[in-house]
Chain A
Amino acid sequence: MNKTVLITGGTLVDPSQNLSRPGRLLISEGRVIAIDPKEADLPSEYTTIDATGCLVAPGLVDLGVELREPGFEEDETILSGSEAALAGGYTSILATASTYPVIDSHGSVEFVRQKAVQANGAKIHVIGCLSKGQKGEQMAQLGLLSEAGAVAFSDAPRAIHSDALLKRALEYCRMLNRPIFDRPEIPEMASGGVMHEGQISLVLGLRGLPTEAEDLAVARDVRLAEATDGRLHVGPVSTMGAVDMLRRVKSRGVVVTASVCPHNLMQSDRVMRSFESRYKVHPPLRSPNHVATLCQAVKDKTIDAIQSGHMPRSREKMMNDLDETPFGMSSLETSLATAATALVRSGILDWIELIDRMSTRPAEIAGIEAGSLKVGMPADVVIIDPNAGWKVDPSEFRSTCISTPFEGMELIGRVCKTLVNGEVRFDSSVDAA
């Protein structure tokens, strides 16, 4: 932690300083202390990390990860999830209350924070429950949760069902300066659905998740954000309707942010023809026109951020038929490469834009000290080989969950090293051995 580290030979990619050029990064006491230090400024003793051929970027920030502890440790623990995050290049993740009991009290926030310290992996920030017991009725003690360290509030993985509750909470949170995250879906319209409702669900006879179930929720969300002037983040979104709505309100100057998952930028619902449960993910894989629209919306910043959508479920839960299998996938370790393959290789984004959507912008949305390599910032760094191709093999995952819609796919962009507070906590050359 107190060591001085010089990362040399790589290309510094930092959207917060509009930086994308070869350079050296000097780290000490867990923080960035210089970019391109002069030889005279280097201390007598330091370690060098050779990043030749690689990108050196601020560590990735994930706006919504299910860690499943306490309550569902068979799916993922705080330890396994934070190790998976590191392997995926994430240095900060926001954990949703996909747990039992839910995270709606000072004590439960403290539990997660303690476990995170023990895990010593990626930094874990807590998303507190918006409603008491996640029941969607009364506000949880948002002020006290905030004091305990919760950085945002949400009822994720559930949608915020009550319009009145959302309005009240947006108003109340203005004094806390914490954002509310909504996973937009009208539950009643999506009930029983296993895949995108469209031509393929029609032919396969599988129950559909209609796009309107998301569109209507986004419409409600953005209208309430405008009415209350509250801080609202919607995501993950997956439909053309959501993009259209966000584009319109943003052009009017309404402050609202949105995120998308890499799988919705990469794959369409055609793969459901194999009936494999690893494709039962949420938001569902939609038809190709939605995929193309979402990619463009990431480019033009209608969608601000990319979040992994990590929803771990144990192997036995994912071994059933499509109705019985829960929505789930392991995506922390594939997120960067999936997004890079879908957006950078195809020429839609360059790397600095991708790092912006996966690190700098999410850090701003969450209001956490991350997403930047400016002098004085925590030395949370990811070193990426941008051209390395690799094949997704779930047996290599650190996550407990090995179900992924990308199994066997060839992706580009490999995480070489992940540093948290200046300390190398993931090193692919060591872990592969």
Chain B
Amino acid sequence: MASDSKLPDLTGLTDSWNRRHLLDLESLSADEIRTLLDVAQELKNATEGCRRKLSLLSGKTCANLFFENSTRTRNSFSLAAKRLGADTVEFGSSGSSTAKGETFADTAKTIEAMGVDWVVTRHSTPGTPNLLARELTCCVINAGDGPHEHPTQGLLDLLTIRQHRGSIEGLTVALVGDIAHSRTARSNIWGLKKLGAHVIICGPPTLVSPRWQELGFEVAHHLDEILPRCDVLNLLRIQFERQNARPFPSVHEYAALYAMNAKRMRLASKDILIMAPGPINRGVEITPEVADGPHSVILEQVTNGIAVRMSALYLLSLADDRYRSQMSVGV
């Protein structure tokens, strides 16, 4: 690890932030989302692309409490905490107390009692971070709650688009694939909508409910028809593990209708951005020549993941410090 970089100047950026938990993007205002992105950009710059270490949060501890498997999100949160000088502690569900019958809330309380400042949690059931935020006194970050939300994934997608296009406003962004089971989709749509993008949700009707139109989103079932209008394409993974019954006849048929391949790239605009939250199923949602091609920003998304997670940890910590100092003077 290289020596401590110069601390960034975040004054003015963080004043209006007062949330101690990051549970979803649906309940955030456009300004709050911009603050998260602005701070992420500053921290990314100050750490020379998330490679250097700052001591903004030294002495604090971040607990990763993952009840579902994860590689990238978990490591990304760990690195984000370490880049800001915090310690990390890891809990997985296999082999831990939940396997012995403990409820997730009891596990979380036990870990909190060890003295942690943030609990970063992932769980297969929607709403578990909301329950923890009520039960615990530390900050809670949702790292994915079933098909509900994955706010830092939404933020890193927004940051990536913003870096390439300068602004989200006025862009047409399509989310393609397994919307029904995708927490990435459920965070992206709110973030994009609040920042002024036109959002198209595209996939077979068994995965894309017409009810999304009631909420102000465009629903499409034919990728080829919407492709020419899109500035950004976010290709969501088919979540076989969450599906009760197969929502399409075969993977082969799905790929024929929705996979982003070289042929479809010719229908797209010249400067389209191709994104995917990963892990990607090569050949299902995306073919290798597109995933590794010039329009793909998939690896930039991974780097930006560390930036937005640093931002979230930092901002929640600021609000938490303020909250605790107010409590201690008895306001």
Residues on A lying within 8 angstroms of B by beta carbon are 191-192, 198-199, 202-206, 274-276, 319-324
Contact = CB atoms under 8 A, between A and B. Distances in A.
Interface string B123-146: 111111011000000000000011
B103 A320 contact: yes
Interface string B293-310: 000000000000000000
Interface string B164-197: 0000000000000000010100100000000000
B130 A275 contact: yes
14 contacts: A198-B211, A199-B211, A199-B215, A202-B212, A205-B147, A206-B127, A275-B131, A276-B131, A319-B105, A320-B104, A321-B127, A321-B128, A323-B125, A323-B146
B244 interface: yes
Determine which residue in A204, A320, A322 has the highest number of CB atoms from chain B within 10 A of its CB, and name it: A204
Nearest to B129: A275
A91 to B, nearest CB: 38
Interface string B249-263: 000000000000000
Contacts of A199: 211, 214-215
Contact of B126 (A191, A198, A276, A322): A322
Given A199-B214, A321-B131, A322-B125, A205 B26 contact: no
A191 B244 contact: yes
A61 B148 CA distance: 41
- Shortest beta-carbon contacts, A-B, top 5: A275-B127, A205-B147, A205-B148, A321-B125, A323-B125
A74 to B, nearest CB: 15
A199 B210 CA distance: 10
B285 interface: no
B157 interface: no
Contacts of A275: 126-128, 130-131
A388 B183 CA distance: 46
Nearest to B183: A205
Contacts of A206: 126-127, 146, 148
Contacts of A191: 244
B117 interface: no
Interface string B238-270: 000000100000000000000000000000000
A206 B123 CA distance: 13
A199 B183 CA distance: 16
A323 B103 CA distance: 12
A104 B186 CA distance: 47
**Interface SS of A by simple majority:** loop
A205 to B, nearest CB: 3
Given A204-B126, A274-B130, A319 B186 contact: no
A95 to B, nearest CB: 30
A191 B245 CA distance: 11
Contacts of B212: 202
A188 to B, nearest CB: 10
Given A192-B244, A274-B130, A321 B148 contact: no
Given A199-B215, A205-B147, A206-B148, A323 B244 contact: no
A272 B107 CA distance: 24
A202 B211 contact: yes
A323 B124 CA distance: 9
B34 to A, nearest CB: 23
A204 B129 CA distance: 13
B209 interface: yes
A204 B130 CA distance: 12
B149 interface: yes
A322 B105 CA distance: 12
A205 B186 contact: yes
Contacts of A320: 103-105
B266 to A, nearest CB: 34
B26 A321 contact: no
A321 B211 contact: no
A322 B103 CA distance: 12
A39 to B, nearest CB: 62
Given A203-B186, A275-B126, 8 more contacts: A203-B215, A204-B126, A205-B126, A206-B146, A275-B127, A320-B105, A321-B123, A321-B131
Determine which residue in B104, B127, B131, B181 has the highest number of CB atoms from chain A within 10 A of its CB, and name it: B127
